[in-house]
Amino acid sequence: MCIGLPMRIRSTDGLTALCEGRGEERRVSLLLTGEQPVDAWVMVHVDTAIRTLDPAEVPLLNDALDALEAVSRGDPFEHLFADLIGREPQLPDHLKPHAKEPA
């Protein structure tokens, strides 16, 4: 399984950056995202930033990753999806069917 990690840029020298997240530091390529400022959040996969992240996404992504770890240990994980409990899942707008206009 391929998993990206949310990481915060701590320093940069243009198209590479020193990033930290989830208890580790990595030197990361910024070729796909372009230069990013210090403290920006990026999704890192195979030591490459594949997209920038809105800071509001980071806790949700970390909860999902924590849930994967909990499941693999056989631990409870439901509390990590508190934002989903008690409501119907919603499709993102780009996946919702579009109503046809009358002819």
Domains in the chain (CATH in brackets) are 5-53 (2.30.30.140)
**pLDDT for position 42:** 98
Which residue shows structure tokens 């995202």?
33
Structure-block tokens of residue 31: 């070729």
Cα(91)–Cα(73) distance, integer angstroms: 30
Structure-block tokens of residue 49: 């930033």
Mean pLDDT of 40-55: 97
Tell me what percent of the residues of the chain surpass a pLDDT of 70.
Answer: 94
Q: Is this structure's pTM higher than 0.95?
A: no
**pLDDT for position 28:** 98
